[in-house]
């Protein structure tokens, strides 16, 4: 296995784009894989392909559309009205947080597991994903303990020594914007990535939870650098 090669799970959004360019600085050989899982829009896949092409990174799309038929959620079922508030307002009666209905159960479990199989076939050791438990939208499969657990499981399952890198795990969105600026990709991330749940590039619709999180982070970053 090649310790200098990395496979980036790449959606074409803000976080995964920052991770892609982070990987290009850390590893000598970088590839990107994007998943088509029956999401509301495919514009993010086209954005991912365009960004990977511009970065000179080999890019592949994997069809995992079976995921959309496994659960009822607002990212894969357009008949479900999306939760528009942040996770602290979605509570069990007992007081514990529950994910918003944009949570796709098993998504990161499937994505990272499939990426590991691809990486093994390509002799790649390092897997990179943009999950964060700081600004994680209430998705349990973005937490550090899940990543550590899955990393152990994948190594046991395939008798390999994969390393799952999560460079944004402890970063809020303002910090992610700062990283983009430091890597000289701020304009690219601002204008070419798609984070919006409604598939609108750049600032997006401004109303969905993902847009609110992204734009709030940008405002915080811009206010910090203006001081």
- Residue 137 is predicted with a pLDDT of 67
Question: By mean pLDDT, which of 101-105, 113-117, 154-158, 206-210 is the weakest?
Answer: 101-105
Per-residue pLDDT reduced to its tens digit, 174-216:
999 999 999 999 999 999 999 998 889 999 999 888 899 999 9
CATH topology for 2-172 is Rossmann fold (3.40.50)
Residue 135 above 80 pLDDT? no
Q: Where are the domains of the chain?
A: 2-172
HSE (side-chain half, CA atoms, 13 Å) at 151: 17
- Residue 157 is predicted with a pLDDT of 98
- Residue 97 is predicted with a pLDDT of 65
Give the global pTM: 0.91
Q: Is residue 115 a contact partner of residue 7, using CB atoms and an 8 Å limit? A: yes
Per-residue pLDDT reduced to its tens digit, 18-46:
999 999 999 999 999 999 988 877 899 99
């Amino acid at each position: 296995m090649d310790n200098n090669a990395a496979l980036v799970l790449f959606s074409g959004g803000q976080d995964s784009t920052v991770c892609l360019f982070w990987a290009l600085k850390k590893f000598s050989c970088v590839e990107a894989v994007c998943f088509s899982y029956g999401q509301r829009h495919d514009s993010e896949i086209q954005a991912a392909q365009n960004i990977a092409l511009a970065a000179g990174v080999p890019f592949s799309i994997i069809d995992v559309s079976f995921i959309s038929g496994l659960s009822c959620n607002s990212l894969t079922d357009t008949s479900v009205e999306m939760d528009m508030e942040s996770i602290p307002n979605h509570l069990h009666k007992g007081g514990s947080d529950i994910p918003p209905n944009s949570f796709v159960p098993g998504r990161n479990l499937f994505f990272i597991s499939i990426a590991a199989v691809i990486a093994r076939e390509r002799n790649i050791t390092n897997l990179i994903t943009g999950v964060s438990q700081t600004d994680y939208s209430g998705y349990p499969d973005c937490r550090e303990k899940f990543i550590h657990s899955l990393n152990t499981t994948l190594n046991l399952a395939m008798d390999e020594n994969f390393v799952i890198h999560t460079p944004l795990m402890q970063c809020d969105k303002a910090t992610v914007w700062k990283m983009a600026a430091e890597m000289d990709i701020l304009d690219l991330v601002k204008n070419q990535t798609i984070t919006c749940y409604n598939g609108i590039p750049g600032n997006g619709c401004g109303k969905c939870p993902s847009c609110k999180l992204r734009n709030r982070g940008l405002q915080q970053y811009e206010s910090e650098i203006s001081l």
